[in-house]
Homo-oligomer: A and B are copies of this chain.
Amino acid sequence: MEVCLPGTGGVIPLENRWLTCCWVEHQGKALLIDCGEGTQVALKKAGCKLSRLNTLLITHFHADHTAGLPGLLLTLGNSGKTTPLTIIGPMGLHLVVAALTVIAPVLPYPLYLLELEADKPGKLDADAMEIRCLPLKHGIPCFGYRVSVKRKPIFNPQKAKQLGVPVTLYHALHAGQTVTLPDGRMVKPEMVLDGERAPLSICYCTDTQPTDGLTEFARNADLLICEGMYGDESMRGKVKEKGHMLFSDSARIARDSGAKRLWLTHFSPALTAPEQYLDEARSIFPQTEVAYDGIRIKLGQKIK
């Protein structure tokens, strides 16, 4: 599972910072969360392969999360896409997509639109990824997303050795196939595997004020991507009014949820050097990073 933030900005696209969005890729298929103005350029710059994109999740309908939609849809078409694109978002999605595609009326692939029930957490699947959503606390309906992928159980080479399995058959067994040894014996995967592992999970939560459900939603995530609209604690008075969070709010959620790491994103355009507030966030949750356009991580390395 590979995760990338092609953009990390909030409100308006800047010359040196694209609007926040999140690319998640697994087994050659990808989903994108949010699509502000310029996202198609940011994706290209970050090396995200549009041909792999099957699912688009929209957090909410503010322009900095949606205005790139017609451009991206057209570019997908120009790139030869013919398979369906599923777009998932809050209620009203079909109206917003219909409106924005008035300048992209003909696409060479079908759109599947899926509206999330208002104010309710939900769960659905896209390719081999499980998607959960959580209503957030913003000025308009807004959802956080948790994307999870199953992991293969741990392969136990000692068990395989004791059974006399040749090394050349390890891969097939780990992939879940029953194999026949040269002497005719059959070995089933469960005979050499060490049981289930927790899925890999990332959480993407912007735009929002702190909400109780957020900590539980991000529970033990391998990566929590959370908004960092403001770094300066002096902005505390503004966050409620604007429906956003401080770095420290996100750090506390990461700490309390048991997330393994935190990436801050959706920086205010006025926040030209977000890293200056990093130390304070790290004093709350050490595994905090100030994300930057193109930041990328591969979660869940293979067991050797």
- A residues engaging B (CB < 8 A)? 11-15, 37-38, 40-41, 44-45, 61-64, 66-68, 70-71, 74-75, 78, 95-96, 98-100, 102-104
Contacts and interface: CB of A to CB of B under 8 A. Distances in A.
Q: How many identical chains are in the complex?
A: 2
Contact of A38 (B38, B44, B63): B38
Contact of A71 (B41, B67, B96): B67
Contact of A99 (B40, B75, B102): B102
A12 B40 contact: yes
Contacts of A37: 37-38, 40, 67-68, 70-71
Would you list the 6 A-B pairs with minimal beta carbon distance, nearest first? A99-B102, A99-B99, A37-B71, A63-B103, A67-B71, A38-B38
24 contacts: A11-B78, A12-B40, A12-B71, A13-B38, A13-B40, A13-B41, A15-B44, A37-B37, A37-B38, A37-B67, A37-B70, A38-B41, A61-B103, A63-B71, A63-B103, A67-B103, A95-B102, A96-B102, A96-B103, A99-B100, A99-B102, A99-B103, A100-B100, A100-B103
